[in-house]
Amino acid sequence: MSDASYLSLEKLTLAYGDTVAVADLDLDIRKGELIALLGPSGCGKTTTMRAIAGLLPVKSGQVRLDGADMTRVPANKRAVGLVFQSYALFPHLSVYENVAFGLKLKGMRGAELDTKVQAGLKSVGLSSFANRKPAELSGGQQQRVALARSMVMEPKVLLLDEPLSNLDARLRLEMRTELQRVQKETGVTMIFVTHDQAEALALADRIVVMKGGAIEQIGTPEDIYNRPVSSFVADFVGFENIFPLEGGKLRTSGGLIELSGEAPSAAGLAWRPRMVTLGTGPFRGTVRGTSFAGDSREYLLDTSLGAIKAEVEAALPAHALGADLLFDLPAGKAALLSKFS
């Protein structure tokens, strides 16, 4: 086993009955890495997690963990933790008993058990809630019980399915830091699912972007943010001006357009609104909409290329609706897309 593949999925295909949900997925994860699984609803994130945990039979391919083939190992023998989107706390058990559940199954008893459970509760700040039932906790507290319940098992891999999605903005930020701290302290390998690109960028060592049951791109947050490989990823991470490239020219709703500067070789180009030069340039557009966002201002332009979004510093003088502006899409700044869909 190389260090680069502590957990590896090889040509993993997963199906519900005859409908394939994930096809030929390859993924290698290093020990101690924090991976974010990002993608639109229904792209197979939960399905992939369930297969890693052993809750869904694998149709073909392999799941390997720490050098061993896990593909046919049942869920209760995998040492994989899973925090469910619904938390899945046992409603008939107290918080304490929930956290102790897995440890007891391992045969742990008495003082050793108590020490572990108390430590687990303490690490998520719920020591004083030990005797409550899950129904008597807030959503965020339930989430933390679910986290503690998985963490005390010291899993080789901890999977979190949209762990922060049901929390309000403040709690979300709090739990984000919490997750990061736990991960740094224990060094556990973690995969978490999220819909939220900001969350993925902030937390993850690497981000896996999924689309339609396959991986679209794997990379560091910088890679994903600055160098999306496809129009899909570009769109997902906030590029708003995305065009296919044909023979060095931009295909727009206004026909093929020659760019200023050297035309790069790629399937498409993408610019964030901030990358659009406003005030000078070969193209002309009319302001159709404007919105103020604190330290910046966004303009929606009607142009011969179609609609263009541009963003400039708010300190600059504002343009009125209907104003005619010159602008440029500098080829040098664009993200080069190797796939356009």
Ligand X SMILES: Nc1ncnc2c1ncn2[C@@H]1O[C@H](COP(=O)(O)OP(=O)(O)OP(=O)(O)O)[C@@H](O)[C@H]1O
Task: Tell me the sheet residues that pair with 336.
Answer: 269
* Those residues with Cβ within 8 angstroms of residue 112's Cβ, 6 or more apart along the chain or in another chain: none
Residue 120 interacts with which of other proteins, ligand X, Mg ion, none, CB < 5 to 8 Å by class: none
41: nearest Cα among 241, 276, 213 = 213
Residue 46 interacting with Mg ion (CB under 5 A): yes
Compare residues 157 and 242 and give the one whose CB is closer to other proteins.
157
Give the residue at shortest CB distance from Mg ion: 46
Spatial distance between the Cα atoms of 273 and 270, rounded to a whole number of angstroms? 10
Contacts to other proteins from residues 99-158, by CB under 8 A: 100-102, 105-106, 130-131, 149-150, 153
State the helix-helix crossing angle for 95-105 and 110-123, rounded to 10 degrees: 130
Spatial distance between the Cα atoms of 295 and 313, rounded to a whole number of angstroms? 6
Amino acid making up residue 47: T
Residue 47 interacting with Mg ion (CB under 5 A): no
Which of 35, 65, 80, 190 touches other proteins (CB under 8 A)?
80
List the structure tokens of 188.
Answer: 């556990």
Residue 73 interacting with other proteins (CB under 8 A): no
Residue 78 interacting with other proteins (CB under 8 A): yes
Residue 150 interacting with Mg ion (CB under 5 A): no
Task: Decide: 308 and 291 in contact? Cβ < 8 Å.
Answer: no
Task: Decide: 327 and 308 in contact? Cβ < 8 Å.
Answer: yes
Residue 21 interacts with which of ligand X, Mg ion, other proteins, none, CB < 5 to 8 Å by class: ligand X
Q: What's the min distance (Å) between Cβ of 44 and Mg ion?
A: 9
Kind plus residue range of the DSSP H or E element containing 147: helix 139-151
Residue 48 interacting with Mg ion (CB under 5 A): no
Q: What's the min distance (Å) between Cβ of 167 and ligand X?
A: 16
- Per CB under 8 A, residues contacting other proteins are 50, 53-55, 74-78, 80-82, 84, 86-94, 96-97, 100-102, 105-106, 130-131, 149-150, 153
